[in-house]
Structure 1
Amino acid sequence: MGDTTKKERRKFLDKGLKVGIAAALGGFGISKITSKLNANSKSDSGEKIELMTTDGTLIEIDSSEVVEVQHSEDHDKKYNVREGMPHRKFVMVIDLAKCKNALKCQQSCNKHHYITGDNAWLKVYKMQESKDTAPYWMPTTCMHCDQPACVTVCPVDATFKRKDGLVLIDNERCIGCRFCMAACPYSTRVFNWSEPKQEFTLDMDMLEHQYSPEHGGMPSVKGTVDKCDFCPHQVKNNELPHCVTACPNGVFYFGDKYEDTVTNGEETLRLSKLLEDKAGYRLLENLGTEPNVYYLPPVDRLVDFEDGLEQFTEFQSVEKPTEE
């Protein structure tokens, strides 16, 4: 995006603030405006603006009653953990033809997020359409949907979606209701029923940092939900997620949809051409969740199929463990 385009966009946003101020302030903003109206403010510019109240009622007020917020020049460039990285849209492509269940992706994810195999965020399943078709391995992660059902049902705003495409969980807000797990059609979330048994040495320097939903290396918390986060702590530093760099077969591609490029660390490809040439698809398209994880069909496989770890040899739903 050029400087001219950014300036025009900023002008548009500044003008839009007057119209959108009610939405930004919510009921509080409307109550302040209506109270000013009731007080019969002496200043009157003669210019009227229509605003919608929180109950859907249109009201007409004088433009002088709306305070225009002045932003700094770099306002739209500043980073916020709940907003994400400006002008970015992260996507992942998983090439099923290359996966041989090496599980290096899962091991690296577990190590850098201090999670156990039982609660792994990334799982690899043995898939087979029928007894007459060849089996293949299918890695699964959070789909980071554009229309995430998990965000809609969360009653405490613990699960949220960023503008850069990442769906994250704030474990300090999570109350363990598991509504998000019930709403997710991909069954990619896990619940910490007990204190996690750490298999890796904790990074004490990391533990001294103030908690943030995007910090990697923070231990799981009992009574909260976890899931794949696309490694935002890596992405923010222009580095690839751990699963991408750990895979020895180049299965995972990660990139920016706006730039139309993805890479597995070894090769960088045009996203749109890759999906078109190899018939890329997304899981459960008919649900309208619009996931940001794409799959390439397991055709012309580059590796022989070999059985891997026994616990991941078939697709099965996650059952609630017996509580002690």
Structure 2
Amino acid sequence: MKMQNKRKKSRRKFLQSSGIIGVSTLLGVQTFPLSSCSKKEGSSQTIKVLTPEGKLMEVEANQLQEVHHHKPTSSKESRKGIPGKKFVMVVDLAKCKNARECIKACEAHHNLPPDRPFIKVLKIQDNPQSSPYWMPKKCFQCDNPPCVKVCPVGATFKRSDGIVLIDNQLCIGCRFCMAACPYSARVFNWGKPQPIGNSKHAHYSPETSTPSQVGTVEKCDFCPDLLREGKLPPCITSCPNGVLYFGDANEDAVTNGVDTVRLSKLLKDKAGYRYLEELGTEPNVYYLPPVDRLFPFKE
């Protein structure tokens, strides 16, 4: 519990300093219906509210709960990105023990079936003399993305904030982007998507990647729908070992939900590198070498 409180406080402090938090206030919050009033702790005061059906009711103030109503981002708006941001991720290979909580959280948020994960955790052994280690791998959100260049219909695109997205309403399923991606980061929807229980994802937006459509391509998207609400991607907050750091390169700050650090200092001090740097794709995901490991390798 103490660690969870520390994680929440540190995360909020990072979001406030980087300017991510506060975006949701620009989207507007209604306060008159019963489901949209602010919660007041420890109060027996009663408040008259108007229900969505138009009925006037009197309820205790401490029973009210604030609900934010976010309008799904349109396909046109999703191409612009969040102004002033340059999102980046750092993966500390010394901390990963293949807990796979990041995969579970990602699947839950994107309503993914187990056979089409956006995140893969690979067993890597650089040579016969070295010990193997675990390597989480997802889309690298390249600044020079070959996937974008080969798409014949403009379904996949690069945003101003560094994120590469796919508009499945435009995707024709040619899979040219899958062939062009050197990281094998994309998946193809061969089968019927799972039913969606979360109404938030009922209406399609490239920023949520849901609902999925048969015959289209998908991938990790850095969860821009959550970033607009001032929240971190679920893969970051779900990792029990703080393997994944996320933040804004323009602010030179990243966090794993507990620790918030300078991106430049972290990469310099830990000898950070980018996977397959020689390809010239300029990815926005960095790795820290698996030295001084927290856990012994186990299958």
TM-score, normalised by the number of residues in structure 2: 0.73
| Equivalent runs, 1:261-276 vs 2, <5 Å | 261-276=253-268
Distance 1:134 1:208 in 2: 45
Letter in 1 for 2:200: M
| Equivalent runs, 1:258-297 vs 2, <5 Å | 258-297=250-289
The one of 227, 250, 255 equivalent to 2:242 is 250
| Equivalent runs, 1:135-284 vs 2, <5 Å | 135-196=132-193, 198=194, 202-209=196-203, 211-215=204-208, 218-284=210-276
Structure 1 residue ranges without an equivalent (≥5): 1-78, 308-324
Q: Deviations over 1:79-117 (max 9, x none)?
A: 931010111100000000000000000001001101112
SS in 1 for 2:272: coil
Distance 2:171 2:198 in 1: 24
Asked if 1:125 is matched to 2:118, the reply is no
8 Å CA contact 1:115–1:219 kept in 2: the answer is no
8 Å CA contact 2:110–2:208 kept in 1: the answer is no
Q: What's the counterpart of residue 63 of structure 1?
A: none
Shift of 1:131: 2.1
8 Å CA contact 2:163–2:222 kept in 1: the answer is yes
Instruction: Rate the CA distance shift 1:207–1:105 in 2: closer, same or farther, 3 A.
Output: closer
Distance 1:280 1:287 in 2: 17
Structure 2 residue ranges without an equivalent (≥5): 1-75
Letter in 2 for 1:203: G
Instruction: Rate the CA distance shift 1:299–1:204 in 2: closer, same or farther, 3 A.
Output: closer
Structure ranking higher on relative contact order (CA contacts 8 Å, 6+ apart): 2
Q: What's the counterpart of residue 101 of structure 2?
A: 104
The one of 87, 90, 98 equivalent to 1:93 is 90
Distance 2:280 2:201 in 1: 38
Shift of 1:208: 4.1
Q: Deviations over 1:137-170 (max 9, x none)?
A: 0000100000000000001110001000000000
Runs of 4+ with deviation above 6 angstroms: none
Shift of 1:204: 4.5
Asked if 1:305 is matched to 2:297, the reply is yes
| Equivalent runs, 1:45-56 vs 2, <5 Å | none
Distance 2:249 2:238 in 1: 22
Would you say how many aligned residue pairs link Structure 1 and Structure 2?
A: 224
Distance 1:103 1:96 in 2: 14
8 Å CA contact 2:196–2:202 kept in 1: the answer is no
Distance 2:110 2:240 in 1: 20
Instruction: Rate the CA distance shift 1:207–1:251 in 2: closer, same or farther, 3 A.
Output: closer
Instruction: Rate the CA distance shift 1:277–1:191 in 2: closer, same or farther, 3 A.
Output: same
Distance 1:297 1:86 in 2: 32
SS in 1 for 2:160: coil
Q: Larger radius of gyration, structure 1 or 2?
A: 1
Distance 2:283 2:248 in 1: 14
Letter in 1 for 2:128: K
SS in 2 for 1:80: helix
Shift of 1:305: 1.2
SS in 2 for 1:105: helix
Q: Identity percentage over the alignment?
A: 62
8 Å CA contact 2:85–2:248 kept in 1: the answer is yes
Letter in 1 for 2:199: D
